[in-house]
Amino acid sequence: MKLKKLTSKTHSMLVGFALLTIVTACNLPGNIGLSQPEPTPTIPISVTATPAPSDTPVVIEHRIGIREVPSGMEFYDRLTGERFVPRGADYVHWVSRPSPGRGDIWVDALFNTSFGELDQAEAELQQMKALGFNTVRMWKNACWGEVGGCIGDPAGGLSDAYLDNITEFLRLAKQYGIFVIFTDDWVPDDGGYSQELARAAYVGYNGVYLTEHGINAERMVWVDLIQGLIERSAALDAVLAYELKNEAFYEADSAPLNRNSGTVTTANGNTYDMADEADKKRMMEEGWLYWIEQVRDSIQVVDPTALVTMGFFVQQEPNRVREGDLRLVYLDRVVRESQLDFLDFHAYPGYDLSIQGHAENFAMLDSGSKLIVMGEFGADKHNYATAERAAAALQAWQVDSCDYGFDGWLFWTWGINPQDEFWNGYEGEGVVSTVLAPVNRPDPCAYGEFDFIRFNVAPQAVITASSYAAGFPPQQVADESQNYWNSSAGAPQWVQLALATPAEVESIVLTVAQQPPGRSVHEIWVRQTDGKIKLLYTFDGVTNEGDVLTFQPNEPLVGVDLVRVVTTSVLDLWPAWHEIEILTKTLPE
């Protein structure tokens, strides 16, 4: 069978589109320095679209705050005094729109003033409320490429009509008891913000985080947004937090990080040696600490009770992951020293890391009292062939994450996302949202009982095999990912799973790893309480990469403690399996 190396999933929805714009708009060489000439922007950059009224508007206190209790820090509701646990989804309305010179691109239509879909929001918020969800995370501006109707006003500042749409959404969110996290990836194309960022000495996200112009551009757009909402008496008490970036990272292949000599002075006034890798890392860590401090302080000047967070995917150490990915993330000092009110970490099951591995790479272990929300977690359809299997995996992921300090969960996604390869809250008769819903599982750290859910006991098994090729160990048949076990010789070959405790097995599901297609023969052997291993079933037929073979006995198999899968014939290939699932209805302990 095939031998290939599968890479881990790194989930950054909007970066690709944003960087296309960035690279063409920002191409200034050189180091940061006050002696550099600064181009004059052609659009005013320090005003909002709506002039301030004569009477000073009232700044509404945010309803959700953070407090210290004997067990640590927690979110709480200022109105009721009760603990608040964020549970909900990433709420999107992606549509494909033509962009001049760039073909069709994906943008979020929810707040758009040209082709917006705000009229659908009320029904969707009602559905979320009925399931007990209380939080949505959404992009305040996932719009670019001259598609029209975006948040930036070509005349300067932010669009009045766009701010009106956000105001209306907050009214609806408050009405249905849903709190909102506003996130972002890039400053608006129009309004003067991208023009300010274009003055930075570096392109891309390195320019955002390491230069004063990058800080200024972010401060401007957040302050203009909040002031515009205050002037409209928007329901800021329905805003859980402002998220400075959806998924923050530096770019290793862009200046100054692609330099191996010389020094760089960044916005915080410190100078770093580009010949010293440790100094480069220190520059990135301290760059984020300073950037967060500056932007957060500006937000809290105009909105003093606001919570501020920032999103991240895993760093590449200590567990090796995202190998070859040039997006750099260093979190140790952000977790322990930053002024963020809480952290937003994105962690998906079915890839290279377990939940413990994620916690280690997020620098969460012994991280102190900082609150952490899992702002994205979802189930890839390539890893979970049915909505029921996806729901089971997400429930287990959520429950297991409680042991590592997560304080809230938002699944990917709710709304409209036609290009997505992840199970959303609507698909498969809504089984994902049903399993994650607080009305069905009030305690996110405990399993719920659902007739359609089966639990996979294979990941806890001791797994051995007749042989395996280097880099393709047998443990990969139960890691719930696209990885696979590959034997190191032709058939017959076997892989065996000794269960942690005897189980009542309802089905055994095999995911085929085979290229090219052809006839194969596979035997299912099982040992039960009598201690004898028996042949129960033989698959004999044409199989192909990604096929799913299911053995479901007429009655559940009681007391199973070992399952062996023997491949007796598969063309002239070396036998392999993507996944072997052993499913039971019994709740995990």
Is residue 341 included in any domain, yes or no?
yes
Which residues, including other chains, have CB under 8 Å from residue 17's CB and lie 6 or more apart?
105, 106, 144, 145
Q: What is the pTM of this model?
A: 0.87
Where is 412: in which H helix or E strand?
A: strand 408-416
224 and 349 within one domain: yes
Is residue 62 included in any domain, yes or no?
no
Is residue 67 included in any domain, yes or no?
no
527 and 402 within one domain: no
User: What is the identity of the amino acid at 564?
Assistant: R
Look at residue 424 and give its three-state secondary structure. coil
345 and 316 within one domain: yes
- The Cβ of residue 82 has, within 10 Å, a number of other Cβ atoms equal to 10
Is residue 58 included in any domain, yes or no?
no
**Burial (CB count within 10 angstroms: exposed 0-12, middle 13-18, buried 19+), residue 460:** middle
Mark which of 436, 465, 486 sits at the end of a domain: 436
522 and 425 within one domain: no
One DSSP character per residue, 265-295 reads E-TTS-EEETT-HHHHHHHHHHHHHHHHHHH
496 and 426 within one domain: no
pLDDT on residue 55: 66
Q: How high is the mean pLDDT in each 10-residue block of the chain (589 residues)?
A: 32 34 32 30 37 67 97 97 98 89 87 88 96 98 85 96 97 98 96 97 98 98 98 98 98 98 98 98 99 99 98 96 96 97 97 94 88 98 91 97 97 88 93 98 97 94 98 95 94 98 97 97 97 98 96 97 98 97 91
In contact, 50 and 160? CB cutoff 8 Å: yes
Of the candidates 389, 390, 455, the one whose C-alpha atom is nearest the C-alpha of residue 420 is 390
Task: Show the domain range for 486.
Answer: 455-584
Look at residue 57 and give its three-state secondary structure. coil
467 and 413 within one domain: no
Of the candidates 522, 533, 521, 523, the one whose C-alpha atom is nearest the C-alpha of residue 557 is 533
Is residue 48 included in any domain, yes or no?
no
475 and 427 within one domain: no
pLDDT on residue 27: 31
Look at residue 557 and give its three-state secondary structure. strand
Terminal alpha carbon distance of the chain: 37
In contact, 81 and 377? CB cutoff 8 Å: no
Is residue 509 included in any domain, yes or no?
yes
Is residue 272 included in any domain, yes or no?
yes
286 and 409 within one domain: yes
Q: 6: which DSSP letter? A: P
| d(C-alpha 245, C-alpha 291), whole Å | 11
Is residue 314 included in any domain, yes or no?
yes
Reading the block at residue 388, the tokens are 């029921």
| d(C-alpha 93, C-alpha 201), whole Å | 35
Alpha-carbon radius of gyration of the chain: 26
pLDDT on residue 40: 31
Q: What is the CATH number of the domain that holds 340?
A: 3.20.20.80
What phi and psi, each to the nearest 5 degrees, are found at residue 566? -115, 125
Of the candidates 92, 202, 191, the one whose C-alpha atom is nearest the C-alpha of residue 142 is 92
Q: Where are the beta strands (DSSP E) in 46-152?
A: 64-69, 72-77, 87-99, 103-108, 135-139
Mark which of 392, 407, 436 sits at the end of a domain: 436
pLDDT on residue 366: 80
336 and 263 within one domain: yes
Mark which of 436, 470, 485 sits at the end of a domain: 436
Q: What is the CATH number of the domain that holds 472?
A: 2.60.120.260
- Dihedral in degrees, nearest 10, Cα atoms 437, 441, 447, 450: -70
User: What is the identity of the amino acid at 54?
Assistant: S
| d(C-alpha 45, C-alpha 337), whole Å | 31
489 and 394 within one domain: no
Length of the chain: 589
What phi and psi, each to the nearest 5 degrees, are found at residue 100? -55, 120
In contact, 339 and 296? CB cutoff 8 Å: yes
Domains in the chain, number? 2
Reading the block at residue 563, the tokens are 């399952």
| d(C-alpha 429, C-alpha 388), whole Å | 10
* Helix-, strand-, coil-residue percentages of the chain, each rounded to 5: 25, 30, 45
**Greatest Cα pair distance in the chain:** 86
508 and 378 within one domain: no
403 and 459 within one domain: no
- The Cβ of residue 409 has, within 10 Å, a number of other Cβ atoms equal to 24
pLDDT on residue 24: 34
pLDDT on residue 406: 97
User: What is the identity of the amino acid at 124?
Assistant: E
The three-point CA angle 294-300-306 to 5° equals 125
